[in-house]
A and B are shown apart, each in its own frame.
Chain A
Amino acid sequence: MSDNKKSNQKKESEKLLEQEELERMMLISKADEVVGEQLTIDTEGILQTENELKKFALGDIDDPERKYDIYYKGISKLLLKHLPEGKGYKKARDFIYEEKNTYLTRGHRIDEKGIRGADSRMGHIEDADKILELITHWIIKKGSMVDLYSTIRDLNIKLGYGKPSHE
Chain B
Amino acid sequence: MLSIEKKSLNNILNKEAKRVGIITIIKLAQFLNLPISDFVKVYLQELPSEQIGDIEKAKKNNFIVQNFDLPQLHKKKFISSKTDYDLIENRIVKFFGLNSIYDFAKEVVTPAFSRTKRSSSDLMREFWVQSALYQFKLLENPNSYSREQLIDLIPKIRSYTKNVKKGLVTVVKALFSIGVTVIYQESLPNISVRGATFVVDGKPCIVINDLYKRYPTLWFSLMHELHHVLYDFDEIQQVKYHLTGEPDLWLKEEKANNFAREYLFNEKRSKYILPFINESVLVKEYAEKSQVHSSIIYNFYMYDTNRWGKFKNQMPDINLAINSLNVNIWENESVEETTEKLKKEIFNI
Contact = CB atoms under 8 A, between A and B. Distances in A.
B153 A39 contact: yes
A28 B174 CA distance: 19
A46 B177 contact: yes
B86 interface: no
B171 A39 contact: yes
Interface in A113-157: none
Given A31-B157, A34-B159, A37-B159, A45 B152 contact: no
A36 B159 contact: yes
B170 A49 contact: no
Interface string A29-61: 011111111110100111101010000000000
Contacts of A33: 155
A82 interface: no
B153 A49 contact: yes
A45 B151 contact: no
Interface stretch (A4-12, A19-27, A84-92, A93-101): A19-27
Contacts of B173: 41, 45, 47
B261 to A, nearest CB: 10
A45 B153 contact: no
Contact of B158 (A24, A31, A46): A31
Q: For this complex, into which size category does the number of interface residues on chain B fall?
A: 20 to 34
Interface string B171-209: 101101110000000000000000000000000000000
Contacts, number: 67
A39 B174 contact: yes
A51 B154 contact: no
Contacts of B151: 23, 27
Contacts of B230: 23
Contacts of A28: 259, 262-263, 266
B68 interface: no
A121 to B, nearest CB: 33
A45 B322 CA distance: 19
A39 B291 contact: no
B154 A27 contact: yes
A39 B170 contact: yes
A37 B174 contact: no
Interface string B149-167: 0011111111110010001
A47 B156 contact: no
Given A31-B263, A39-B171, A45 B349 contact: yes
Contact of A34 (B158, B174, B176, B177): B158
A30 B155 contact: yes
A35 to B, nearest CB: 6
A14 to B, nearest CB: 15
A39 B156 contact: yes
Contacts of B102: none
18 contacts: A20-B231, A27-B151, A28-B266, A30-B155, A31-B154, A31-B157, A31-B263, A34-B291, A36-B291, A37-B159, A37-B163, A39-B156, A39-B170, A39-B174, A45-B176, A45-B347, A47-B177, A51-B152
